[in-house]
Amino acid sequence: MRFFPLASAASFLLAAAGNAQNLLVNGSFDAPVIVGRIPESAGGTPVQAGVQSSWAAFAVSPETSDGRVIAGMTTEVARTGKQSLFVDFVNVTASSRAAVLRTHLIPIKGGHTYRVSLWGRIDRKRPLTLDERGAEVLLEVRYFAADQTSDVGEPVTGTQLIPGEMVPGTTPELIFRSGKWKESFAKASAPEGAAFIRVTWTWATPEKSGETDGVIYWDDAAILDEADAK
């Protein structure tokens, strides 16, 4: 399964806002309050003691001679609120260099369909471009039984290319841009017997040669029960 970029999600979001509750606490990354661009290693993370948050882990690959990935929180740009996440690929030539964001186990209802989403926007000054090696955002959704340890069903996975796709013989598809936020979402049906969901987003360099250099911002992560949005 792959993500689905939306040209316009306004009508859905207006309906969802009145009926469906976002199951993610601190999905807008507005806590803890920071100023400027703060890396995860210096406290720019939604995973902190004393912060009400659905986020369980936020980490990046260690620096190597093949480039580095810096991820954290920033007040430079935000879709809503005052803060967002940033992922900065700094001259990365290695593959599988990544930043990973993972939720705690979140209570859900078995048999329901959930809409998992996140908004992205490319940095104006250091964009990821189609004519260079880009990056990927990978999604993993896992379901757990009431004991919080037993998997229920198979994991749901998806991949979205950043900033878009270059397919020989076709028009390049630029998904993420610097001038506007773009939502990517996936729909996943929880198996009967599922009591919890855990979502992981991973931003990584792909398994091909080249250099990845640029910044992308992320905001307003959400998990919505589609039954509540109708």
Q: What tens digit of pLDDT does each residue of 123-175 get? A: 999 999 999 999 999 999 999 999 999 999 999 999 999 999 876 666 778 99
**Can you give the residue range of the structural domain that contains 21?**
4-229
Supply the mean pLDDT for the chain.
90
Give me the mean pLDDT over the 53-60 stretch: 97
CB 25 within 8 A of CB 16: no
CA 200 to CA 38: how far, in whole Å?
21
Using 50, 70 and 90 to split pLDDT, how confident is the model at 199? very high
Instruction: Name the residue with tokens 């260690």.
Output: 62
CA distance 5 to 119: 10
Asked if pLDDT for residue 106 goes beyond 90, the answer is yes
Q: What letters, b where the CB count within 10 A reaches 16 and e where it falls short, cover 118-135?
A: bbbbbbeeebbeeeebbb
pLDDT of residue 105: 98
**Between residues 1 and 164, which one has the greater pLDDT?**
164
- pLDDT (mean) for 28-51: 96
Average pLDDT score over residue span 85-101: 97
Q: Which of 25, 3, 229 is nearest to 114 (CA)?
A: 229
- Count of structural domains, the chain: 1
Average pLDDT over residues 198-226: 97
- The pTM for the full model equals 0.90
| 110, pLDDT greater than 50 | yes
Q: Measured between alpha carbons, how far is 17 from 221 in angstroms, rounded to an integer?
A: 14
Q: How confident is the model at residue 230 (pLDDT cuts 50, 70, 90)?
A: low
pLDDT at residue 120 is higher than 80: yes
Domain at 129, CATH number: 2.60.120.260
- The whole-number pLDDT of residue 5 equals 37
Q: Do 83 and 28 meet the contact criterion of CB atoms below 8 Å apart?
A: yes
- Top-confidence residue, 15 or 54: 54
